[in-house]
Amino acid sequence: MGLRVAMSEMHQQINDINKILQSKNNAAYRLLTAIETFSNDSLLKGRSYEVAKEYMRDVYLPLIKGIIRANEEIIEGNKFLISRFQAQVDPSPSAIIDTDKLHEMLLKINTFEGRLNSLKEDNFHLFKNVQEQIFETKKMVATIQRLYAFNSNNASLHMKAQSILANIEVGLHMISQGTWDDFAHSFKYKLTDMKWAKSIHNEWEYKNLTAEEEFDKHLQEEFGFGEEEVKLMNKLQEKLKERFPYASSEELDWYFTRLIGGFSYGGSESSSGDHFKWNATAGDPYTVLPQFRFDEKDFFTIFLGFSEDEYKLLRYKVRVQNQIVSLPKENSLVFLEKNNRINMYKASLEDAIGKELTDTEFKIYWNEQYNRMVTKGDFAHQQITTATMLNNRFVLTDMKIFGLGIGKEKKEDLAGWLGDATIGEPPSFGKDDYIADLDAENIYYLIKEKQLSYQAAVNKYYKEVGIKYTRAELFTKHTTVENVKKQIFAELKVSNLDELKSKAPDSYRFIRSLEENMNEMGEFK
């Protein structure tokens, strides 16, 4: 059976469907308000009420939000279907296309066309008239071909709605998991896997955000940054576009990741050897002309036009985030007090924010900052690794001839997971490294595989990781565990996991976490 499209009918059906869905959403919003009011009611107290309110928040709120989002996606998809059809197939609002009837006509016309060619000299006017009909029919054939292409290309039009509905199904199953405890006079329930709710929460939170706003939200949620430093990162992106108007999107992404990563890796306080190492791997962003090179501070304040206060704050926030997630114990307030480091840390903070603080004010500020960042991924680490992969400038380490260099791919690995797993006595590969290295590799994979900008890849990745796949699952899609083992074993001169476990326990845990497809690094004894 072929395809048949009558645009007037399609318009009517889609309008009717959208009206029904909008009506359902109006009712769902009223229900959402009622559930939120109940869940936040401070007057309803007691064990039974508290459990009920918690259950409503955990299960019913995401369910209702999911239903609303699925309906919204279907409505938008329906509208897009009409506009895409008119743009790609036929712009007429009353178009009728029937592929079965047209195929019958084509069979007859192909037969007639051959016979007419032999008669055209004697029947010129008749021939011309029929040829015009054939031409019109061939135009219709082209329309039919566009219709089939349109039909196959729109299979994914409502994919997001289908994904949300699949999560709703999981949530509906959870409703039947609770039981009433007569003895405790309380409702009991156990929620085991809440990925469905997290996925719906993300859809709800991001639905009205622009790509830029979504990126900002990820910087806050995934790394613990505040609004002020996020605005400065936005400013950095804008200034780079201004100063390098002819740079490609990938070049601008490299500048951004290299400059941010450079605050902690090969930055102004690093040794000359560290400078050289990171310039040789991630590239040198500070040389704007062959014979003119800025230092880090001047690059930001003179070349990019940041104020000195803005530069200090951005640099401090990126560095302190790296510091906290890398050494959480050593940066806790208890440790700072015990080891008489309060004054040193307080002076650094005061210099960054441009005002003096009392000891009490510092402790409040530090605790708030520490708690926001301590469980997050290492942003500077991720940025410098990503910059290395985005770096298309030739450096000596890219060469793999005459015994020189190590090759671009190995250089990238050494800047990330391979370096963390093999450098040091023994190598130190922490949970923050696992997140930073895998995130950098996975985001770069999405950039290349899906032809995305850095920002778009970040947005896609952080909406999906931990829900559609774990960090390890996506990583092993492009870098096999066997390849990881092979490289680590060769660098550390071991032949199996038992030897690795003895020589480099962290590297052993890294590989075992990949084997178990873990989202965060596990503890393997």
Residue ranges per domain, the chain? Answer: 1-208, 209-295+374-525
Give phi and psi for 378, each to the nearest 5.
Answer: -85, 105
CB atoms within 10 A of CB 60: 19
CA distance linking residue 346 with residue 344, whole number of Å: 5
Query: What pLDDT is recorded for position 94?
Result: 61
Q: What average pLDDT values come out for the chain (525 residues) when binned by 10 residues?
A: 58 75 81 81 73 77 81 75 63 57 50 50 48 50 51 56 76 66 60 75 80 92 95 96 93 96 78 69 84 88 96 97 95 95 96 95 96 94 92 58 47 69 88 92 93 93 86 94 93 92 92 92 83
Q: What is the pTM of this model?
A: 0.69
Query: What pLDDT is recorded for position 271?
Result: 57
522 Cβ partners below 8 Å, 6+ apart? Answer: 509, 512, 513, 516
230 Cβ partners below 8 Å, 6+ apart? Answer: 216, 219, 220
Query: What pLDDT is recorded for position 188?
Result: 62
Beta strand 96-98 with 287-289: parallel, antiparallel or unpaired? unpaired
Contact present, 356 and 234 (Cβ < 8 Å):
no
Query: What pLDDT is recorded for position 85?
Result: 63
Query: What pLDDT is recorded for position 403?
Result: 43
- Mapped onto helix, strand or coil, the DSSP state of residue 427 is strand
Contact present, 470 and 514 (Cβ < 8 Å):
no
Q: Determine whether domain 1-208 maps to CATH 1.25.40.
A: no
- Mapped onto helix, strand or coil, the DSSP state of residue 291 is coil
Query: What pLDDT is recorded for position 195?
Result: 76
